[in-house]
Amino acid sequence: MSNSINQSRRNLFSRRKSKVNRPPWVKADIDFTDICTRCDKCITACETQIITRGDGGFPEINFAQDECTFCQKCVQACPEPLFDLAQNVPWQIKATINDSCLANSGIWCQTCKDACDPRAISFKPAIGQAPKPLIDLESCTGCGACVAPCPNQSIKIQA
């Protein structure tokens, strides 16, 4: 591929880098879209089918239906030097809860807490109000298990 085409690919996708979640264990210091060949092998390998073809055909994580189990099948399926399992954590993304959370409307809902295996979500009792969720970012793995069950799509997983 020529340098000019490479450059235009970089320009096209660099703006979106911060918004898009790539699969876990992707090396932090690489330009993902320069190395990924869009072969779809990680998409096929993902046991929970959370890897989708995103912008430009590059793989993106989508937690709308399911979570990451950290099974590493995407890493094992990838033929390119994109991943590093020696990294301390699979990725830097964490859960954040936005203002649309039903607790802000006085509705008692603790669905996200029940979905969270590492118990990173807690609810602080408040007199006369619905308890609001709090996320312990140290415990949150960014697995996304809390996203799909939330009845109001109030949880995003992002860096």
Supply the minimum distance, in Å, between the C-beta of residue 51 and ligand SF4.
5
> Is residue 112 within the footprint of ligand SF4 (CB under 6 A)?
yes
Q: Answer yes or no: are the C-beta atoms of 68 and 93 closer than 8 Å.
A: no
| Interaction pattern, residues 129-158, with ligand SF4; x per rule: CB under 6 A | ----x-x----xxxxxxx---xxx-xx-x-
Using the rule CB under 6 A, give the single segment among 4-12, 13-21, 47-55, 81-89 that binds ligand SF4. 47-55
Cβ contacts of 148 within 8 Å, gap of 6 or more: 63, 64, 65, 66, 67
CA–CA distance from 53 to each of 5, 40, 63 (Å)?
A: 21, 8, 13
What is the number of other CB atoms lying within 10 angstroms of the CB of residue 25?
A: 20
Q: For binding to ligand SF4 (CB under 6 A), which residues are involved?
A: 23-24, 45-48, 50-51, 68-74, 95, 97, 101-103, 109-112, 115-116, 118, 120-121, 133, 135, 140-146, 150-152, 154-155, 157
